[in-house]
Amino acid sequence: MDALIEKILQKDNPTVAGLDPRPAHLPPELRELPPDEAYLKFNLGLIDALADVVPAIKPQAACYEALGAAGVAVLEKTIAAARGAGLYVISDAKRGDIGSTAEAYAEAWLGDGPLGSDAVTVNPYLGSDGILPFLASGRDIFALVKTSNPSSAELQDLDCGGEPLYMRAARLLERLGAESVGEFGYSRIGAVVGATHPEELTKLRALFPNTFFLVPGYGAQGGGAADVAGAFDGRGLGAVINSSRGIIAAWKKTGGDWKDAARAEALSMRAALRAVRK
């Protein structure tokens, strides 16, 4: 997790911008293009507008897969452009499989191929067989612990011997990560915990000092800076906060140039997060 933390420190900003292009988010000037061309122009414009403000971007794989191989080619170009601009790339793919299949996913998302990213999100339901193959890459993962959606309670909150399932998942990650703790005290296995659960964030932060958090759900999903304050450690590290629609579709609220609107929203989010980290 060291590469991400260094970029957060450089920019004094724990924001990750979610590049989740959907037809409804495209500004009018791009809507006449074929969808794959529009998504690429949109992403390149956003990367240009945000590269000196945010340390990281998080493309959501589903948005690209919806266009098939043509969309995946846009994702390849997006990842390359972002890494070329010095950004840390978290591919939000929530992959989860076992053995040689997990190795193939690791090869895809954390290898030297065209989708190679700095980190990928994974689903922990299959246990360590679905997590450890990703670590061999030497790069980072973020595994789901407590997700931001309303129905996350259906399985994640089930009582498993006195504590909820998500807590057991978090314990598994902390244990599996123990051998990869880096210079800032965080392992290469991070946890996804939604901004919609501020109390759980605070509790998990205290219990799992070696697990870095990826926190979605800021902005459009309802979480604010106060909700994520508990995710940070005493140094203002420990978490990166994601906003997707809030940034990339900011032009819908503000009008004006879509790149300027995204940048303004990212600057505003940076200020809000700086205020709660100290």
Which residues are at the interface with a copy of itself (CB under 8 A)?
20, 22, 60, 62-63, 65-70, 72-73, 75-76, 94-102, 104-105, 107-109, 111, 113-115, 123-130, 144, 147-156, 158-161, 165, 168-169, 172
Q: Of the residues 94, 146, 252, 278, which is catalytic?
A: 94
Q: Which is nearer to a copy of itself, 17 or 165 (CB)?
A: 165
Q: Are 249 and 21 in contact (CB under 8 A)?
A: no
DSSP state of 34: -
Q: Can you tell me which residue has the tokens 């191989």? A: 69
Task: State phi, psi for 25 to the nearest 5 degrees.
Answer: -90, -10
Alpha helix stretches (DSSP H) within the chain: 2-11, 35-50, 61-65, 69-84, 99-110, 132-135, 153-156, 165-177, 198-207, 225-228, 245-248, 251-254, 258-277
Q: Which is nearer to a copy of itself, 103 or 257 (CB)?
A: 103
Annotated catalytic residue 41: no
Cα torsion at 41, 27, 250, 147 (round to 10°)?
A: -70
Q: Following DSSP, what letter does each residue of 226-267 receive, concatenated? A: HHHGGGS-TTS-SEEEEESHHHHTTHHHH-S-HHHHHHHHHH
Query: Annotated active-site positions, please?
Result: 94
